[in-house]
């Protein structure tokens, strides 16, 4: 974080997150949105692979941990959907472009712009309280940094991020681990997510082009979009490679196309 001022670095260390406004220009945001639109237009997801995205434990194990579509998405472009957008046969109930919650996790390897590296995602809507390190665990802790870029204004009405400042200093409450090959479901959780006092969360509305730096252990969420406007964002994670061990139990593991540590530096 050599580009941060001493006061910015101190605030990040205290709060576990930091907002950097005007990181991207409006034109750069539009270019990214146009590229995402092209990807969605080419989307072809078989009905049996149409998976709802969730950070809720029971929903995640049921909808994601049991399918190779999620577990093998680290170096591919895969689509994950909102709740209630399919009928019982997996057919769309809404226009496909309106059904997506997240596109991941290999956008940085398979598409551009931008030339991002490491677990890239294009995200839309509601995410329950969680810590990124629950899914991207390292030893020692504190080596994963999330970069969340607002491609549109993120407001209280359309689902901006919320954080519990300082919550990155209390360790990781639960971990999502990958089950042995051939097991079902494909993932499980160690520990549990404690009940969070909603009054501790601080909203973080930002303008289009803002970058939010997110410590891997800070607790954060986004609320349901209650407006008539979308709230698109592009996010990826970086890992400090020197002296860091990527857990062999993480759901995301090295492949021939996604070697570690070159993508996490």
Q: Which of 84-93, 215-224, 238-247 has the lowest mean pLDDT?
A: 84-93
Instruction: Decide if pLDDT at 45 tops 60.
Output: yes
Position 236 scores a pLDDT of 85
Buried b or exposed e, range 122-134, using 16+ CB within 10 angstroms = bbbbbbebbbbbb
| 96: DSSP letter | G
Q: What percent of the chain has pLDDT over 90?
A: 40
The CA-to-CA distance between both ends of the chain, in Å, stands at 13
| pLDDT (tens digit per residue) in 59-94 | 554 554 446 656 666 566 777 777 777 787 778 887
CA distances from 71 to 51, 62, 75 (A): 12, 13, 10
Indicate the average pLDDT of the chain: 80
Position 50 scores a pLDDT of 64
Sheet with strand 51-52: strands edge to edge: 17-20, 211-215, 144-150, 233-239, 120-123, 100-105, 77-81, 51-52
Q: Is the pTM of this model over 0.85?
A: no
| pLDDT (tens digit per residue) in 124-180 | 456 889 999 998 999 999 999 999 999 999 999 999 999 999 999 999 999 989 888
Position 110 scores a pLDDT of 47
Position 254 scores a pLDDT of 75
| Average pLDDT for 9-25 | 97
Instruction: Decide if pLDDT at 214 tops 80.
Output: yes
């Amino acid at each position: 974080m050599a580009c941060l001022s001493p006061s910015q670095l101190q605030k990040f260390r205290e709060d576990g997150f930091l907002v950097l406004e005007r990181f991207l220009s409006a034109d750069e945001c539009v270019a990214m949105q146009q590229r995402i639109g092209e990807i969605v237009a080419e989307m072809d997801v078989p009905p049996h692979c149409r998976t709802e995205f969730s950070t809720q434990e029971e929903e995640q194990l049921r909808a994601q941990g049991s399918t190779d579509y999620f577990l093998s998405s680290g170096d591919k472009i895969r689509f994950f959907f909102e709740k209630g957008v399919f009928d019982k046969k997996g057919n769309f109930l809404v226009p496909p472009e309106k059904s997506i919650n997240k596109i991941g996790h290999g956008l940085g390897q398979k598409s551009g712009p931008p030339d991002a590296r490491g677990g890239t995602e294009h995200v839309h809507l509601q995410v329950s309280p969680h810590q990124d390190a629950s899914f991207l665990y390292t030893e020692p802790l504190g080596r994963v940094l999330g970069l969340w870029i607002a491609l549109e204004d993120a407001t209280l009405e359309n689902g901006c991020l919320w954080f519990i400042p300082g919550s990155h200093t209390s360790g990781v409450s639960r971990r999502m681990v990958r089950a042995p090959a051939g097991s079902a479901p494909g993932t499980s959780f160690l520990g549990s997510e404690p009940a969070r006092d909603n009054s501790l969360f601080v909203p973080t509305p930002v303008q289009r082009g803002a970058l939010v730096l997110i410590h891997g252990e800070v607790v954060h969420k986004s609320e349901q979009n209650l407006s008539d406007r979308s709230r698109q964002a592009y996010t990826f994670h970086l890992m400090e490679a020197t002296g860091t061990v990527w857990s062999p139990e993480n759901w995301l593991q090295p492949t021939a196309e996604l070697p570690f540590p070159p993508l996490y530096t």
